[in-house]
């Protein structure tokens, strides 16, 4: 599988051109898709970044997001959970808000940020264009609430926008993700971690380590 020199483990500030910001839901029903996207990003040779890695309670959250988005050339914005909450009766605006921050950085930021690129994901076709008509023309892609489809869309997008020739195919990444998912419970236990409560950084480190380890 080959070693990856760039990771959250090896550097606290991964290079702009290798960093991928993930803006997505964090609910339990979405979690398998989130893990698949994270795995895919690492397997493609990039570094996943997420608001989940931000732990400094003394900093204003929007400032954290600003710095995180500013440090990533690539961003994945999943708008598949913009629906009315059963508890509040209100829609979830976090994902569209962070998409707006990312597009604003690209459109109005310094020249260095004009290279930013983003992928907009939806669960089903045309779902969110009814709620956010301004994304028309952004060519969103659809994962159909399937980790396999999410891997395919993320992989194809990363390969296209980066132009890298070393990105593995979606079938290869899907197979590796299935293999990794089958061993992660035991690996987490061996590392003294709880599989059901892995932090984002712990999960990324485990993916990186597994991909660095040659297949038997």
Task: Give me the tens of pLDDT residue by residue for the chain, a chain 216 residues long.
Answer: 444 555 665 446 799 999 999 999 888 889 999 999 999 999 999 999 999 987 777 678 888 899 999 999 999 999 887 665 666 666 667 888 899 999 999 999 999 999 999 999 988 765 555 445 555 446 788 999 999 999 999 999 999 999 999 999 999 999 999 999 999 999 999 999 999 999 999 999 999 999 998 776
The total domain count for the chain is 1
Exposure pattern of 73-87 as b/e (b: 16+ CB <10 Å)?
A: bbbbbbbbbbeeeee
For residue 142, tell me if it sits in a domain: yes
- Burial of residue 108 (number of CB atoms within 10 Å: 0-12, 13-18, 19+): exposed
Residue of 174, 169, 82, 158 whose CA lies nearest to 123: 82
For residue 187, tell me if it sits in a domain: no
For residue 211, tell me if it sits in a domain: no
For residue 61, tell me if it sits in a domain: yes
For residue 198, tell me if it sits in a domain: no
* Distance separating alpha carbons of residues 8 and 31, to the nearest angstrom: 20
For residue 2, tell me if it sits in a domain: no
Query: What CATH number does residue 151 fall under?
Result: 3.40.50.450
For residue 126, tell me if it sits in a domain: yes
Range(s) of the domain holding residue 48: 16-169
């Amino acid at each position: 599988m080959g070693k990856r020199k760039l990771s959250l483990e090896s550097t606290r500030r991964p290079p702009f051109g290798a960093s991928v910001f993930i803006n997505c839901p964090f609910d339990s029903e979405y979690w398998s898709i989130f893990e698949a996207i994270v795995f895919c990003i690492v397997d493609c040779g990039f570094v996943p970044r997420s608001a989940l890695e931000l732990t400094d309670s003394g900093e204003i959250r929007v400032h954290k997001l600003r710095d995180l988005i500013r440090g990533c050339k690539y961003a994945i914005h999943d708008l598949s959970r913009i629906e009315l909450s059963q508890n509040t009766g209100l829609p979830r605006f976090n994902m569209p808000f962070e998409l707006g921050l990312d597009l604003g950085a690209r459109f109005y930021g310094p020249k260095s940020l004009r290279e930013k690129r983003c992928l907009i994901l939806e669960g089903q076709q045309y779902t969110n264009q009814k709620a956010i008509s301004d994304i028309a023309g952004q060519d969103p892609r659809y994962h159909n609430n399937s980790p396999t489809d999410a891997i395919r869309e993320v992989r194809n997008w990363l390969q296209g926008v980066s132009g890298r020739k070393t990105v593995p195919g979606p079938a290869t990444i899907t197979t590796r993700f299935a293999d990794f998912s089958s061993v992660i419970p035991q690996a987490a236990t061996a590392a003294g971690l709880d599989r059901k409560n892995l932090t984002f950084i712990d999960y990324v480190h485990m993916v990186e380590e597994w991909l660095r380890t040659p297949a038997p």
